[in-house]
């Protein structure tokens, strides 16, 4: 079945540590890729997106993600996290040609001050 | 307000009851989406509207689920004869235009608990 996989559902790290969250998908063909973030008590909001072009995408709040087509991956990174990055992070894939988003299960990230 | 508004925020119903969940999208947004998010899972697509037209309802899990957007703005998701597995957060999202390149703006969701 087509799916979006996110591993290490719970991540705990200290401020200033580097963060990398993996995302792999199993859809063939052209896809659009997204990372969404949900801060405690808030709604889902878009962190960054990739449609085409440079496979290294920069988003808000110092986050970036790299699309590696051969690995069907779209990993999220931040070199130095802050306490305010505590949130749940969702990878989402849009297979080309339709409007639906397919989400992964999410990564719950806790940053300890 | 400026964002997507969903009501109620919380809904508790007994198994077998019908429920109706409301979504007020951002004014002028053409596209509207409903997602279901079970505990510990990511959101799962239910249905998509472009204005008043329901263009994709392939994610609705059964014929007990029904969604409408009669005037192309407010949308209602109705669940008939609720069952315990319907317990989830129901998310609504809207985007300005059609097309996936338009960012989807999410509401806070309705948390539905079926007893």
Q: Smallest Cα–Cα separation from B46: which of B66, B24, B18?
A: B66
Question: Residue B8, preceding bond cis, omega within 30 degrees?
Answer: yes
- Closest by CA position to B29, among listed B106, B109, B111, B98: B98
DSSP A71: G
In chain B, the residue whose alpha carbon lies closest to the alpha carbon of A101 is B45
pLDDT, position B98: 72
> Regarding beta strands A107-112 and A10-14, do their DSSP bridges make them parallel or antiparallel, or are they unpaired?
parallel
The mean of the pLDDT values for chain B is 94
Chain B interface, mutation test: which of A25, A101, A105, A108, most B Cβ atoms within 10 Å?
Answer: A101
Helix%, strand%, coil% for chain B, nearest 5: 5, 50, 50
Residue B35 has pLDDT above 70, yes or no: yes
* pLDDT band with cut points at 50, 70 and 90 for residue A1: low
Measure the CA–CA gap between A82 and A18, rounded to whole angstroms.
10
In this structure, are residues A21 and A6 in contact, taking their beta carbons and an 8 Å threshold?
yes
Q: How far apart are CA B84 and CA B65, in angstroms?
A: 14
Chain A, window 43-82: residues with a beta carbon less than 8 angstroms from a chain B beta carbon: 43-46, 49, 51
Q: What is the pLDDT of residues A15-67, one digit of tens each?
A: 999 999 999 999 888 889 999 999 999 999 999 999 989 999 999 999 999 99
Tell me the chain B residues in contact with residue A89 when contact means C-beta distances shorter than 8 Å: none
What's the pLDDT at A30?
86
Measured between beta carbons, which residues in chain B are less than 8 angstroms from residue A42?
A: 108
Listed in sequence order, the residues at least 6 apart from B111 whose beta carbon sits closer than 8 Å to its beta carbon are B9, B10, B11, B88, B89
CB B2 within 8 A of CB B63: no
Q: Give CA–CA dist B13/B71, Å, rounded.
A: 28
Banded model confidence at residue A92, pLDDT cuts 50, 70, 90: very high
As a three-state string, the secondary structure of A22-50 is: CCEECCCCCEEEEEEEECCCCCCEEEEEE
Size of interface A-B (CB pairs under 8 A): 58
Q: Average pLDDT, stretch B25-42?
A: 94
Residue B1 has pLDDT above 70, yes or no: no
Residue B21: pLDDT band (50, 70, 90) is: very high
Nearest CA in chain B to A35: B103
Give the per-residue pLDDT at A95. 82
Alpha-carbon distance B71 to nearest alpha carbon in chain A (angstroms): 21
Alpha-carbon distance of A14 to B81, in angstroms, equals 47
pLDDT of A20 reads: 96
């Amino acid at each position: 079945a087509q799916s979006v996989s996110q591993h290490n559902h719970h991540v705990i790290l200290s401020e200033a540590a580097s963060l990398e969250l993996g995302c792999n998908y199993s859809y063939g063909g052209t896809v659009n890729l997204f990372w969404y973030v949900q801060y405690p008590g808030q709604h889902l909001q878009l962190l960054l997106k990739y449609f085409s072009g440079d496979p290294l995408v920069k988003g808000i709040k110092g986050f970036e993600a790299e699309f590696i087509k051969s690995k069907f991956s779209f990993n999220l990174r931040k070199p130095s996290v802050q306490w305010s990055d505590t949130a749940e992070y969702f990878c989402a894939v849009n297979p080309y040609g339709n409007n639906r988003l397919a989400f992964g299960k999410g990564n719950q990230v806790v940053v300890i001050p | 307000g400026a964002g997507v508004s969903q009501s109620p925020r919380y809904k508790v119903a007994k198994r077998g009851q019908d429920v109706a969940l409301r979504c007020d999208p951002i004014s002028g947004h053409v596209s509207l989406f409903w997602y279901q998010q079970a505990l510990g899972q990511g959101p799962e697509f239910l249905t998509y509207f472009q204005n008043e037209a329901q263009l994709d309802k392939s994610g609705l899990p059964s014929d007990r689920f029904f969604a409408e957007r009669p005037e192309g703005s407010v949308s209602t998701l109705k669940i008939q004869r609720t069952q315990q597995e319907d317990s989830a957060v129901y998310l609504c999202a809207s985007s300005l235009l059609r097309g996936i390149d338009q960012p989807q703006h999410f509401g806070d969701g309705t948390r539905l608990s079926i007893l």
